[in-house]
Amino acid sequence: MNTVSICFVCLGNICRSPTAEAVMRAQVEAVGLADRILIDSAGTGDWHVGKAPDERAQQAGRARGYDLAPLRARQVAAADFERFDLLLAMDEANVRNVLRLCPPTRRERVRLLMEFAPAGAAREVADPYFGGEEGFEQVLDQVEAACAGLLAHLRTRLA
Ligand code: 4NP
């Protein structure tokens, strides 16, 4: 049975990418593909390594039924380009930072998550860290839409 493995990437791994990890896990579990689609997240920076997601991200996620509490931040590592079929960045700066670490043969694995959102959606998931609560709601809205498109794409790869 083939599997596909994906890693969501943002700057700190405490707001956007753990939100995406929890949302994607829920969507994948809902369609019974948890053993076929392997999900992780990481940050390009190391400031928050080992920490739980930002309290605001946990709270906003909890209100929609997502549990971010068990997640712990880690930094993107060289092994990730071998372990994961796709590294899904939240914004263009994340793409640039990930590509700096990426072996030349693995560059096509690095994509913007929002490429999988419906046509017309913004290309980046904006960083909510320095803003208000509404930023975390917007992250959830964008990530929910993009993960649905991503799941549809991954199902074609698993078929
Ligand atoms: P994230 O948000 O990249 O979505 O996890 C941020 C978290 C922390 C910082 C910036 C963005 N920071 O500057 O510490």
- Residue 112 Cβ inside 6 Å of ligand 1? The answer reads no
DSSP string, the chain: ---EEEEEEESSSSSHHHHHHHHHHHHHHHTT-TTTEEEEEEESS-TTTTPPPPHHHHHHHHHTT---TT----B--TTHHHH-SEEEESSHHHHHHHHHHS-GGGGGGEEEGGGGSPTTS-SS----TTS-HHHHHHHHHHHHHHHHHHHHHHHHHH-
Nearest CA to 48 among 95, 6, 16, 89? 16
10 is catalytic: yes
Q: pTM score > 0.75 for this model?
A: yes
> 18-36 pLDDT, tens per residue?
999 999 999 999 999 999 9
Pick the atom of ligand 1 nearest to 14's CA.
5
> 33-64 pLDDT, tens per residue?
999 999 999 999 999 999 999 999 999 999 99
Q: Which CATH class is domain 4-158?
A: alpha beta
Question: Distance from the CA of 136 to the center of ligand 1, in angstroms?
Answer: 12
Catalytic residue, candidates 54, 80, 91, 127: 127
d(CA 134, CA 89): 21
Q: pLDDT tens digits, the chain, 159 residues: what are they?
A: 899 999 999 999 999 999 999 999 999 999 999 999 999 999 999 999 999 999 999 999 999 999 999 999 999 999 999 999 999 999 999 999 999 999 999 999 999 999 999 999 999 999 999 999 999 999 999 999 999 999 999 999 998
d(CA 15, CA 9): 10
Domain ranges of the chain: 4-158
